[in-house]
Structure 1
Amino acid sequence: MRKITCTLLLLMGGIAALANVHPIKSPDGKLCVNVEEENGMLTYSIEYEGKKMMLPSLLGLKSDIGDYTCGLKVTDVRKRKVAYSYSMAGTKASSRNYEANAVDFVVSSSGAERLMTLEFQVSNNDIAYRYHLEGAKTNDQDEPRRTTILAEVSGFKFPENTTTFMCPQIDGDHKGWMSTKPSYEEEYKADAPMAEKSKYGKGYTFPCLFHIGDDGWVLVSETGVGSNYCGGHLSDYEEDTGYTLAYPDVTEQHGLGSSTPAISLPGATPWRTITVGSSLKPIVETTIPYDVVDEMFQPREAYKPGRYTWSWLIWQDNSINYEDQKEFVDVAAAMGFEYCLVDNWWDARIGRDKIEELSRYAQSKGVSLMLWYNSNGNVND
């Protein structure tokens, strides 16, 4: 494998190189992504209705089989239309007709032997992109069949007048109830300046909302994170590069798993998603988390959302016993609710045999049980 060392700079003084810009427009023509190839690096910027919503931001990744952040060259550009329909229960829209303009950029790197493909899909108000790495070219057993993604440099740089609505990420060094942090218990801060550092110095948890002055709103998140990949978040803001896609802190999960994901080859990263609008309406209504992912399996039964009673909310831990839960099943039945939620420690305080009995009793009343489960690394209850 060839090796190369480079410094990531958006502006490289003294080097005369012509920029090669590839625009990708949404079907309605209002949203435009400009992918730019210059000085061996790739950036993208976003305009909506002619207004700048994102400034040139870096693209690329580093893996243990090659560096795809500099020394890059677009060798092929493949344009295509994407259109399909799907239905889902319990989401914002029960049926969805998805249409997007897609472009695949085939990219070579002076620091890698294999090609990378950068895939963009641009629909009305939504952008999704991800990276593909190709598989082995021969049957040689020495050719890598997997790779560790060491880092993404995917950037998100906004105009100076932008303010933020974001939740700070916290490290996992035995913090919070039962050492479960980072978790959902941090608070969003409204209308904060970009230059303000995150509360814990660990960046921000997805989704992240940005107010681009009087011009509109941008929501940044991700989707399509499978079991072979880690969830990402945003770094703290840097003046030159903006925000960068960051991987988990090494203290998270207390040694279970890795903070750098490994994928088989050929393989792809999760999607990085961006929703853009002149108002919050497209942000609230976006279905991009579902639009670009494939169905993983067919469930054996239809799982339906519904209302539930929950003893812990008013009676706390001591209510996790058979008799109290039976009362709350009765309350759910009397109110016409679909479920009764049994909170933590049901397996120890009620037991699996009695839970089966409680389930049969609930079913006789037209109520289903929901059982609480804590996924906390090697310590679960």
Structure 2
Amino acid sequence: MKLRYLAVLALSGCGAEQEHRLTSPDGDLVLTLSEGERGRIEYSLSHNNRAVLEPSPLGLVLNDARFDTNLTLVDAGEVSEVTDRYTMAHGKQREISYSANEQVFSVKNAEGDSLKVAFRLSDDGLAFQYRIPNETGKSRSLNRELTGFDFSSNSKAWLQPVAVAQTGFANTNPSYEEHYQMNIPVGTDSPTEAGWVFPSLFYTGNDWVLITEAGMDGRFNASRLAQQSPEGEYRIGKPMEAEVVTNGALMANADSAFASPWRIVTVGDLATVTESTLGTDLAAPAVAEMDWVTPGLSAWSWALLKDESVNVKTTREFIDYAAQMNWPYVLIDVNWDQNFGWEKLAELVNYANPKNVGLLVWYNSSGEWNETEYTPKSKLFDRESRLQQFARLQEIGIKGVKIDFFPGDGQSVMQYYHDLVSDAADHNLMVNYHGSSLPRGLHRTYPNMMTMESVNGFEMITFTQQTADKAPSHMAMLPFTRNVFDPMDFTPTTFDEIPNIERRTSNGFELALPVLFTSGIQHIAETPQGMAKVPEYIREYLRDIPTLWDETRLLTGMPGEHAVIARRRGSDWFIAGINGTDSEKSLNLDLSFIDKASGQLITDGDTDRSFRQSEIVNQDDFAITLRPRGGFVINF
């Protein structure tokens, strides 16, 4: 990352009641920083001269200092240009360039304690970070954060509630697995005291706004929006007391200088927000190159066959299935240590290796923070035990681990995520977190962090008809929220029927999901038996889907209603679209950016459980009609 000082300051030095302005490189976004009533520091944001955020509060309360009222802006640093170029191991865009204007402000309270706030404005949004000094070496901790995001009263929101800690299956909540409340008035209370998860989506009437955070280093707790937002002013909320590992801390703490994660406010039309890379732009650079990390698709027996499928015979069948589909992985889920153990696991590795299939195995993260009985359990929390497990997995040739059932968003949990993925990297193991928090850019810092669940995913559809009924609209939300910045292990796609559940999505809808959703390892829910029932051209299509893309474009969409996304790998374009509504939807797609004359279209046939394949001529204005809860793919 490079810093270059600009020749002209955004505004002159600090003074009483003086405003300070910072603009984005293209000049369209403007941040205004000012001193408000009672000595509060406030910021506001505009885009093309229209308000995005009204004056909104800044501040922290630490264990030994308050930065809420009676604050003074004592210094406005020079405006500098920040540029960065980096490469991702997996995700929606491989090569990424970032450019922003940065200004760092120094603040003091009435007691003379100091705090710095760094702001960055890029063409697609605002990011800001608190920088907390520590010259004494004594422990400093966060009591609460006062940051707010104040929207005008006519704005709308698309938000997911946070589940109350220590509720749900075996007390495993929160896991970011609730459904979104869509198009609600700003100021609507969360139905739970725990608040709303990030990313949080808003529409001001002019601009779409997506709020999240990135740049976690393990010393800070994860954040969310608080339950109440009077008059549209949303405040940063904190985890509930139970969201910690055994004997772990809840809130940020350090005995040296430390910084908050970057608070990110992405702004623009829906395409700008959906295509943005701010979630990785603001994350820490990769700790190492990790050229052994290989993204790809995976077969997974547990999705439809559940616990009984974790046995040697079924695993061999899924290894053969993955080999036939040209997928590089098979995931072995819960209780493998009890059902067949280490010796048979090594034999399965030896069976899979000649077929160019790598094996991934499941672990329970838990120490004492939930009541799950699935094993291997209590093997990873103690570092000495963890290193022994990882060394043994590496020795027999396991490629990665799926680690499940985390306790929430407390600082100690964030540190645990970092410790696990770091130690896994030392043993050439890829990582998939389930029952988890949001990645928050962790996959840039640790390229072996392939994916995280943190979503009401496919497994939830198999549990209740109510979830299956909501699935089409829910899945049409995810490209605009959960999956914008971070990999998401939804575990998509089945064409056969789900036991005891009436699937509401069409086969074309299901076929679109592995391209519509991004995940470093894309676990496919369909079984060998179900895949054998579809036409060969479907299997052929699924053999060639990348999980690392060079370019991503939103062609059209509306959160909770429909989404059409185009992704490029090399010279090949994959377009995927879904209709999350109960009505037929006609769309016109601008395909003028594709320089190929013809492509293959696969869409729904005469029924929801059939396909139709055709060759299409590329047109700048391509018309397509989607069935209710239907979908399609195009490959150029």
* TM > 0.5: yes
- More helix by proportion, 1 or 2? 2
2:23 — aligned with what? 25
2:170 — aligned with what? 178
Alignment of 1:238-257 (within 5 A): 238-239=229-230, 242-253=233-244, 256-257=247-248
Q: State the Cα distance separating 1:188 from its structure 2 match.
A: 0.9
Q: Tell me how far apart the structure 2 counterparts of residues 266 and 122 of structure 1 sit (CA, whole Å).
A: 24
Q: Tell me how far apart the structure 1 counterparts of residues 121 and 363 of structure 2 sit (CA, whole Å).
A: 38
Identity of aligned residues (%): 30
Question: Structure 1 residues 152, 373: closer, same or farther in 2, change over 3 A?
Answer: same
2:295 — aligned with what? 305
The one of 225, 230, 235 aligned to 1:234:
225
Structure 1 residue 190 corresponds to structure 2 residue 188: no
1:131 is paired with a residue of what secondary structure? strand
Cα-to-partner distance string for 1:216-242 (whole Å, 9 max, x where unaligned): 110000011222221111002332571
Q: State the Cα distance separating 1:254 from its structure 2 match.
A: 6.9
Q: State the Cα distance separating 1:314 from its structure 2 match.
A: 2.1
The answer on whether the counterparts of 1:118 and 1:132 sit within 8 Å (CA) in structure 2 is: yes
Q: Tell me how far apart the structure 2 counterparts of residues 172 and 377 of structure 1 sit (CA, whole Å).
A: 16
1:284 — aligned with what? 274
Q: State the Cα distance separating 1:45 from its structure 2 match.
A: 0.8
The one-letter amino acid of 1:341's match is: L
Structure 1 residue 167 corresponds to structure 2 residue 157: no
The one of 353, 357, 365 aligned to 2:347:
357
The answer on whether the counterparts of 2:153 and 2:232 sit within 8 Å (CA) in structure 1 is: no
1:117 — aligned with what? 116
TM-score by length of 2: 0.54
Question: Structure 1 residues 287, 315: closer, same or farther in 2, change over 3 A?
Answer: same
Alignment of 1:70-149 (within 5 A): 70-78=69-77, 79-111=79-111, 113-136=112-135, 143-149=136-142
Q: State the Cα distance separating 1:296 from its structure 2 match.
A: 4.8
The one of 208, 211, 217 aligned to 2:208:
217
Q: State the Cα distance separating 1:69 from its structure 2 match.
A: 1.2
2:36 — aligned with what? 38
Cα-to-partner distance string for 1:312-347 (whole Å, 9 max, x where unaligned): 122111001112111100110011111111112222
The answer on whether the counterparts of 1:169 and 1:200 sit within 8 Å (CA) in structure 2 is: yes
The one-letter amino acid of 1:320's match is: V
The one-letter amino acid of 1:239's match is: P
Gaps of 5+ in 1: 1-16, 137-142
The one-letter amino acid of 1:199's match is: P
Report how many aligned residue pairs link the two structures.
355
The answer on whether the counterparts of 1:77 and 1:104 sit within 8 Å (CA) in structure 2 is: yes
Q: Tell me how far apart the structure 2 counterparts of residues 285 and 256 of structure 1 sit (CA, whole Å).
A: 40
Q: State the Cα distance separating 1:146 from its structure 2 match.
A: 2.7
Question: In angstroms, what is the RMSD of aligned CA positions?
Answer: 1.9
Structure 1 residue 373 corresponds to structure 2 residue 371: no
Question: Structure 1 residues 101, 300: closer, same or farther in 2, change over 3 A?
Answer: closer
The answer on whether the counterparts of 1:172 and 1:253 sit within 8 Å (CA) in structure 2 is: no
The one-letter amino acid of 2:71's match is: L
Question: Structure 1 residues 227, 77: closer, same or farther in 2, change over 3 A?
Answer: same
Q: Tell me how far apart the structure 2 counterparts of residues 350 and 35 of structure 1 sit (CA, whole Å).
A: 61
Q: Tell me how far apart the structure 2 counterparts of residues 374 and 301 of structure 1 sit (CA, whole Å).
A: 27
Q: State the Cα distance separating 1:274 from its structure 2 match.
A: 0.7
Gaps of 5+ in 2: 1-14, 378-636
Q: Tell me how far apart the structure 2 counterparts of residues 177 and 361 of structure 1 sit (CA, whole Å).
A: 35
The answer on whether the counterparts of 1:171 and 1:252 sit within 8 Å (CA) in structure 2 is: no
Q: Tell me how far apart the structure 2 counterparts of residues 256 and 339 of structure 1 sit (CA, whole Å).
A: 36
Question: Structure 1 residues 254, 191: closer, same or farther in 2, change over 3 A?
Answer: same
Q: State the Cα distance separating 1:246 from its structure 2 match.
A: 1.2
Question: Structure 1 residues 377, 190: closer, same or farther in 2, change over 3 A?
Answer: farther
Question: Structure 1 residues 106, 237: closer, same or farther in 2, change over 3 A?
Answer: same
Q: Tell me how far apart the structure 2 counterparts of residues 330 and 48 of structure 1 sit (CA, whole Å).
A: 54
Cα-to-partner distance string for 1:70-126 (whole Å, 9 max, x where unaligned): 111111111211112111121222111111000000111114x43111001110112
Q: Tell me how far apart the structure 2 counterparts of residues 92 and 206 of structure 1 sit (CA, whole Å).
A: 19
The answer on whether the counterparts of 1:343 and 1:372 sit within 8 Å (CA) in structure 2 is: yes
Cα-to-partner distance string for 1:257-278 (whole Å, 9 max, x where unaligned): 222221232211111111001x
Runs of 4+ with >4 A deviation:
none
2:71 is paired with a residue of what secondary structure? strand
- More strand by proportion, 1 or 2? 1
Q: State the Cα distance separating 1:353 from its structure 2 match.
A: 2.5
Structure 1 residue 339 corresponds to structure 2 residue 329: yes
